Amino acid sequence: MAAIQRRPGSRTVLTASFLPTTDINWPSATAKPVFLHSSFRTSSTWLWERFRRLPETTAYYEIFHEMLADLEISHLMGNNYASWDSRHPAHAPYLIEFLNLIEGERGVKGFTSDMALKSFLPIGGFDGDITIEEKTYVDFLIRHSRENHKIPVLSCTRSLGRTSALSRQYPGCHILIHRQLFDQWASYTSLSLKGDNYYFNVMNLVIDNSCDQFLSNISTCFPTTHVNIQDNNLFYRFIFFHLYLY
């Protein structure tokens, strides 16, 4: 697995030499998928958007995001870089690649809300396997991309716990994106100061509802009842959670 690290004080992401360019002639019907694994606020959107620019790819954004379970066309079109304090460059709506995958009035075909956080870490831990439902869903995304003669690129900030399981199930190009933890913490807290505690809330949900022994120990040793960036326990949770996953 390749690792891409964001340098402190810079918006530059180091890219590995094997990243695809328009000069590479991959047979789209058989091309192995590209997975982008990361946590939040690591410049993963920046890298995903670079893949998205390539005409030979279908670059899916946040394939395990909980909103996909109830995604509607109106929400899809309104969910973009300008709809929140994203600090992302201008580009098309994040989830536009899912437009033709919405089944009925809402919800991406094959996706269930349990895939977002309940399956964050497989049963059996890092050595466990993704569920049959997850495999069926990811297979569908890959197949849809290949049927359109594209290379499937699948990104998600909720895949760190199942990176090993996905890499075993889908041999190909798996890229881990990470950032210096203090810079990542600073990004979390800057949003929290503006009233956006989403990333802390997701982290706490995973920690407090996991059957994994290490995450359970984090929950027990560093209890929190609400997000307070002055709370040392919140900082310890953030550090140990990411060190464990990395």
Query: pLDDT at residue 10 above 50?
Result: no
pLDDT at 185 over 90: yes
Q: What is the mean pLDDT of residues 151-164?
A: 96
Q: How far apart are alpha carbons 139 and 170 in whole angstroms?
A: 9
Q: What is the pLDDT of residue 49?
A: 92
Q: What is the pLDDT of residue 162?
A: 97
Residue found by looking up tokens 């000069």 in the block: 23
Q: The pTM is what?
A: 0.86
Residues of the chain above pLDDT 90, percent: 76
**What is d(CA 133, CA 130) in angstroms, rounded to the nearest whole number?**
8
What are 169's two structure tokens?
Answer: 């199930």
List pLDDT tens digits, range 63-104: 999 999 999 998 888 766 655 555 656 667 889 999 999 999
- In angstroms, the CA 176 to CA 120 distance is 16
Q: Kindly report the CA angle at 159 between 156 and 161, in degrees rounded to 5?
A: 160
38-49 average pLDDT score? 93
Q: What is d(CA 149, CA 66) in angstroms, rounded to the nearest whole number?
A: 28
**179 has pLDDT over 80:** yes
Look at 76-85, 171-180, 232-241 and tell me which has the smallest mean pLDDT.
76-85
The separation between the first and the last C-alpha atoms of the chain, rounded to the nearest angstrom, is: 12
CA distances, 179 to each of 4, 6, 7, 88 (Å): 8, 5, 7, 16
